[in-house]
Amino acid sequence: MAQILRVNMTDRTAAYEDVPNEYKFLGGRGLTSTIVYNEVDPTCHPLGPNNKLVFAPGIVTGTNAPSSGRISVGAKSPLTGGIKEANAGSNWPQLVARLGLKAIIVEGYPQDDGWWGLHITKDGVEFFPADEYAGKGLREIFPGLFERFGKKVGIATIGVAGEHRMAMSGLCFNDIDNRPSRYAGRGGLGAVMGSKGLKLVVVDGAGGPGVEIANQELYDQGRKKLTASILEHALTKPGGALNLYGTAVLVNIINEAGALPTRNFREGQFEGAAKISGEAMAELCKTRGGVGTMGHACHPGCIIQCSNVIPNPDGTELASCIEYETTWALGANCGIDDLDVVGKLTQMCNDMGIDTIEAGDVIAVAMEAGLAEFGDGEAAIGFLEEVRQGTPLGRILGMGTGGAAEALGVVRVPAVKGQGMPAYEPRAIKGIGYTYAISTMGADHTSGYTIAPEIAGVGGKVDQFDIDKAELARNFQYSTAFIDTSGHCLFIAFPILDIASGFEGLIEECSGVLGVNWTADDIMAIGKEVINKERAFNRAAGFTEAADRIPEFMKYEKLPPHDVVWDVPDEMLDAVHGAA
């Protein structure tokens, strides 16, 4: 029987608990959000003793389901002040799941200043002093960690940003080559882990019981259907857009749509877009060679393989992975069109435990405040160096977009609930604006990726400028909450939106593992329940509909080239979930 591991950082003890019935049919985000909702006082200080950090692999994570190595991490966010779930792809959650763990709950508060690590194996949990790993770059410490604990372990860790307890810090997991590069990046979860005095969690899955599958036949049937749909869809198939160019295939597409936020959301098109695009990355891999790889997998069992390793001129590693959001944030949004600079910034973020979206947003805010010119790559690198050192300027940037703008007196602040906006301009793509505004997570594209129908023509095609999208936004939020609960990469959304058997496969796969017979209605009901718990947490934390808003400046500043403002009436936003 699967268990829950509860780790107490006050007295450094750990205990295994039975899984309550309420949690048995959950995983991933559904489970982290439910545990946070049940156990964390919504009004607590996010970095104080009463917050908890919850890890949960998805329902099918640890099985051989395709692209299912996802870990959800939950807590009260120091960035937004609300509930947070961020997820990443890595073998770490696969190992956790194979040890028979549904979730790991980290609670309590350190009574001293030292850093600690956890070593979790089939035999139990060991605390070990981790001071030697603190204050250093993750790229520096990872080789020694794998040397010490074995090549096949998984590592969850924070970087110096999390040690500094900064709201822009993420939680880092190893990738398939044991790089520190797969991030549950958003919302400052690294700071929560840092506040607990916990530096890293090493998981060794060897000898674990594996994931119980209640109905192997149903599971296999679902897995095959879902796999087939992924391998068939134009976006996710081998040699498809994501596989060839990575997520950064979107750069030219979104730029063409006039919705690529440029220079701190002043414009919707970037003249240097092509130079930082996925196509440009693929070209670098071809011309520079060396370690350069498009179509890289972030974890074993991923069949979409949209990650990459971008080479330096000499063929050594410049950065891995440069996602669409990353090349946008550190590129277009800062007015930087040099992929080598974007790569260096990316690698710095990965090395010090920073969310790349938040990093690009705060660098742009600092440029907006006049601390550097847009396009000044050297200055951007200098800003991240300040973050690493924890200087006062580094601490301002470390607050994330909302906080940094407040410190610097910047009014043009592209954030919702304090969290910086991702790479889609809500003035030019209204549905994603609904998602940013209404999401329980702050401005977060992954909580309702309406870009699929609005731009990519997936799941139908809707006009990007149409403002009547409450229902669209709602359905995307519910279905996304379920995908995040299942343990699959969000990109399975493309095939399951377009290919009916793929959607059936997802349902059957999860049902097979859990021994249930879910229907499509159940999926949406589960997603809705997760969202409603998150909303209830946020409401109790002090959020009202006034927090579900696009920043004021977008209502009075026209965005070129379409010269559009944010013109969705508040009532239409509030209609997504109805009255509180």
Output 121 or 439, the one with its CB closest to a second copy. Answer: 439
- Please, are residues 366 and 395 in contact by the beta-carbon 8 Å criterion? no
Tokens of 285: 């891999």
Q: Which range in 36-44, 114-122, 230-238, 268-276 contacts a second copy by CB under 8 A?
A: 36-44
Cα torsion 490, 496, 498, 502: sign: positive
Per rule CB under 8 A, count of chain residues that contact a second copy: 42
Output 12 or 539, the one with its CB closest to a second copy. Answer: 539
- Kindly tell me which residue out of 2, 134, 234, 407 binds a second copy, with binding defined by CB under 8 A: 407
- Kindly tell me which residue out of 2, 19, 47, 575 binds a second copy, with binding defined by CB under 8 A: 47
Output 142 or 383, the one with its CB closest to a second copy. Answer: 383
Q: How far is CA 256 from the centre of its chain?
A: 25
E strand or H helix at 339, and its extent? helix 339-352
Site pattern 503..542 for a second copy (x: CB under 8 A):
------------------------------------xxxx
- CA-angle at 76, arms to 74 and 82, nearest 5°: 115
Cα–Cα separations (whole angstroms), residue 20 to 59, 170, 332, 381, 546: 15, 29, 47, 48, 36
> Mind giving me the DSSP string for 101-163?
EEEEEEES--SSS--EEEEEETTEEEEEE-GGGTTS-HHHHHHHHHHHH-TT-EEEE--HHHH
Q: How far is the CB of 187 from a second copy (least distance, A)?
A: 14
User: Which 3 state secondary structure label does DSSP give 318?
Assistant: strand
E strand or H helix at 16, and its extent? strand 13-18
Output 409 or 569, the one with its CB closest to a second copy. Answer: 409
- CA-angle at 546, arms to 541 and 547, nearest 5°: 55
Output 101 or 576, the one with its CB closest to a second copy. Answer: 576
Of 197, 198, 94, 194, nearest to 153 by C-alpha is 94
Output 340 or 406, the one with its CB closest to a second copy. Answer: 406
Q: How far is the CB of 328 from a second copy (least distance, A)?
A: 24
- Largest Cα separation within the chain, whole Å, is 61
Q: Which range in 45-53, 318-326, 336-344, 475-483 contacts a second copy by CB under 8 A?
A: 45-53
User: What b/e sequence results for 253-278 when a residue is b if at least 16 CB atoms lie within 10 Å of its CB, and e otherwise?
Assistant: bbbebbbbbbbbbbbbbbebbebbbb
User: Which 3 state secondary structure label does DSSP give 82?
Assistant: coil
Q: Is 220 in the site for a second copy (CB under 8 A)?
A: no
- Kindly tell me which residue out of 164, 196, 225, 474 binds a second copy, with binding defined by CB under 8 A: 164
Q: How far is the CB of 35 from a second copy (least distance, A)?
A: 20
Output 1 or 546, the one with its CB closest to a second copy. Answer: 546
Strand partners, 124: 121
The two beta strands, 317-319 and 198-203, are unpaired
- Kindly tell me which residue out of 239, 314, 409, 579 binds a second copy, with binding defined by CB under 8 A: 409
User: What b/e sequence results for 350-386 when a residue is b if at least 16 CB atoms lie within 10 Å of its CB, and e otherwise?
Assistant: bbbbbbbbbbbbbbbbbbbbebbebbbbebbeebbeb
Output 44 or 565, the one with its CB closest to a second copy. Answer: 44
Q: How far is the CB of 329 from a second copy (least distance, A)?
A: 21
Output 363 or 408, the one with its CB closest to a second copy. Answer: 408
535-554: which residues touch a second copy (CB under 8 A)?
539-544, 546-547, 549, 551-553
Site pattern 52..91 for a second copy (x: CB under 8 A):
--------------------------x-------------
383-402: which residues touch a second copy (CB under 8 A)?
391-393, 395-396, 398-399
- Please, are residues 545 and 438 in contact by the beta-carbon 8 Å criterion? no
Q: How far is the CB of 168 from a second copy (least distance, A)?
A: 12
Output 167 or 514, the one with its CB closest to a second copy. Answer: 167
Query: Which residues of the shown chain bind a second copy in the complex (CB under 8 A)?
Result: 42-45, 47-50, 78, 164-167, 191, 195, 391-393, 395-396, 398-399, 403, 406-409, 411, 413, 539-544, 546-547, 549, 551-553, 556
